[in-house]
Amino acid sequence: MKLKAILSALVVMLAMVAPAQAVILGSNLVRFDRNTVLTAAQVTRQVASVTTTATPASGTCGVQFVFKDSSGITLTTPSTMHMYLSASSGLTHATAITSFAALTNGACTSLVTGQHAIVTTTAAGLLGLTLTGSAATRYVVFVLPSGKHLISGALTIN
């Protein structure tokens, strides 16, 4: 009982001193980010798959992505990852399109215009993007923090 009280006090002290740090206690992982404490279950639910719905148009393609965990359940916390465009459904980087931007869901910060970005889903695991450019077929490749790649279906800009 005394050890549990000491560990609880340590967690509180660490939260005040280093609120953006992850604290590992046994098999539980609790992340403090000033406002939120995530349970171990929330932290360990990682992106495992993505479904894609595309709406091609003249000069653009609207795309909605839904990210799911390994059980096929849509995420319930935001997830951030790198994203780049591929000319094929593989690892080859595509030549740049004019631009891409967040559509209705999530956030997109372009690192290399029309080629590479950091994206963040909504808390509901959703990300919407608009790809703008000349007629082409592209694939969106998401690079997860684990290094795993998720590749979208073919996306056509008419």
- 48-87 pLDDT, tens digit per residue, is 889 999 999 999 999 999 999 888 899 888 999 999 999 8
Query: Higher pLDDT residue, 43 or 75?
Result: 75
At residue 70, the pLDDT reads 86
Query: Higher pLDDT residue, 46 or 12?
Result: 46
In this structure, are residues 101 and 108 in contact, taking their beta carbons and an 8 Å threshold? yes
Q: Tell me what the mean pLDDT of segment 103-115 comes to.
A: 90
**Does the reported pTM lie above 0.95?**
no
49-157: CATH architecture:
Sandwich (2.60)
The answer to whether residue 121 scores a pLDDT higher than 90 is yes
pLDDT tens-place string over residues 1-33: 555 555 455 454 545 444 444 444 444 444 445
Spatial neighbors of 16 by CB under 8 A, at least 6 apart, are none
State CA 59 to chain mean position distance: 26
Question: What pLDDT band is residue 42 in, cutting at 50, 70 and 90?
Answer: low
Q: Where are the domains of the chain?
A: 2-44, 49-157
The angle subtended at Cα 22 by Cα 17 and Cα 26, nearest 5°, is: 110
